[in-house]
Amino acid sequence: MPHIAVIPGDGIGVDVTREAVKVMAAVRDSRLPLTWDEFDYGADKYLATGITLPDEEIANFRDNYDAVFIGAVGDPRVPDMTHARDILLGLRFKLDLYVNYRPCHLLDASLCPLKNKSITDVQFTVFRENTEGLYAGTGGILKKGTPDEVAIQTSVNTRKGVERIIRYSFEFARHKGLTKVTMTDKSNAMRFEGDLWQRTFYEVAAEYPDIEANHWFIDALLMQMVKRPEQFEVIVTCNMFGDIVTDMGAQLCGGLGLAASGNIHPGRTSLFEPVHGSAPKYAGKDVANPLAAILTVGIMLETLGYPEWNPKLEDIVRQMIRSGNVPKDMGGKLGTAATGDFVCRALQFGG
Ligand code: NAD
Ligand code: IPM
Ligand code: MN
């Protein structure tokens, strides 16, 4: 019986998580026993107590929960992002969630901003390395606030870290019957990490002769994503480029309001979140699109071994798009709560 730790977080994270939890309740009521506890980590707690996310709580999640669901973190009252980094990157790093799984699947052609693209043209999955790279937090600042100030941020790439995300991408491709994995980097300029990524990619690829191994430099890849997205099936890349590629991938599929993701360590307690942030200007106004959070529930259940819910939720969203029952960012009129209610009603009918 899946037991979930839910962190609504900040801004619209709170709004969209409320709807995701409604959907969890609808899933529970239609046959899948599912339980959850809510945790109030976020900017309010940090500003009131100085607490971000204690290590003991991360251990609690790891030992007593099957998954963690988070809305979003980030608040203008904390401009240095201390709590958001501790919570989000803390969970990703301390739970060693090395796979950032970000599918970019166009659900309806009308959502794609590119000319003359059909659903089948935008159906790729991005695997972002999620525990190292420029996010590793190595570096420092020297002579801060003086004219001689120096800031250093180092990209950490280990053979183990690079290999496991590349291998996961090939395994995913094989499992799904896909034919191509594309690695993207900036090895023409970043010699050392580029060398490690290139060698590792082609060494692992040699173990998968049934799958084509393909490469683009990141600048060219972004151009190709706009020009000919149909060429991509699986994209694997480092932490920073994966962050950038997936916001653009989200836009090709209708925007951040729809983009769902998982931060996964296979077999361990993993973290699930919409790709978007806390969009503070929309917080509490019943305008945020909760569909990314709701589709994230689908990815979470799929990862936990209940694969039937993800396609069911995707189907419901597809029907909503076709009938024009969508939130404002997708050109419709539904508020945040009404969107969640719509999905729950559809689950009760069809579930
Ligand atoms: P953002 O994703 O919060 O918002 C960017 C824009 O995208 C919004 O202004 C809005 O127009 C649109 N948008 C995003 N999600 C939407 C939704 N569900 N419904 C409707 N429109 C939506 O990115 P940002 O403005 O760069 O960041 C705001 C804060 O969120 C920052 O503090 C940032 O660090 C943080 N952030 C957190 C996460 C996370 O917790 N996973 C992810 C990204 C950004
Ligand atoms: C994301 C976000 C985070 C990231 C931020 C909030 C640190 O943009 O999940 O895509 O860069 O990973
Ligand atoms: Mn991002």
pLDDT digits (tens, 9 = 90+) for 279-336: 999 999 999 999 999 999 999 999 999 999 999 999 999 999 999 999 999 999 999 9
* CATH code of the domain occupying 1-98+265-351: 3.40.718.10
Ligand 1 centre distance from Cα of residue 257 (Å): 9
Ligand 3 centre distance from Cα of residue 275 (Å): 6
pLDDT digits (tens, 9 = 90+) for 175-205: 999 999 999 999 999 999 999 999 999 999 9
Q: Which atom of ligand 2 is nearest to the CA of 239?
A: 12
| The predicted structure's pLDDT at residue 1 | 87
Closest CA to 217 of 252, 233, 241, 201: 241
Rounded distance between C-alpha atoms, residue 349 and residue 351, angstroms: 6
Average pLDDT of 73-85?
A: 97
The rounded mean pLDDT for the chain is: 97
Nearest CA to ligand 2 atom 12: 243
Tokens 């503070």 appear where?
280
Q: Which atom of ligand 2 is nearest to the CA of 246?
A: 10
Nearest CA to ligand 1 atom 42: 277
Confirm if 22 and 344 have CB atoms less than 8 A apart.
yes
**Residues within 5 Å of ion ligand 3, judged at the Cβ atom:** 243
Which residues are marked as active site? 135, 186, 219, 243, 247
3-state secondary structure of 86: helix
Which CATH architecture does the domain made up of 101-255 adopt?
3-Layer(aba) Sandwich (3.40)
Ligand nearest to the CA of 89: 2
Sign of CA dihedral 62, 263, 191, 141: negative
Q: Is the pLDDT of residue 350 over 80?
A: no
324-329-331-333 Cα dihedral, nearest 10 degrees: 60
Rounded distance between C-alpha atoms, residue 243 and residue 90, angstroms: 17
3-state secondary structure of 201: helix
Q: Is the pLDDT of residue 351 over 70?
A: no
| Cβ–ligand 1 contact at 279 (below 6 Å) | yes
Same fold: 1-98+265-351 with 101-255: yes
- Residue ranges per structural domain of the chain: 1-98+265-351, 101-255
Nearest CA to ligand 2 atom 10: 243
pLDDT digits (tens, 9 = 90+) for 26-54: 999 988 999 999 999 999 999 999 999 99
> Structure pTM?
0.97
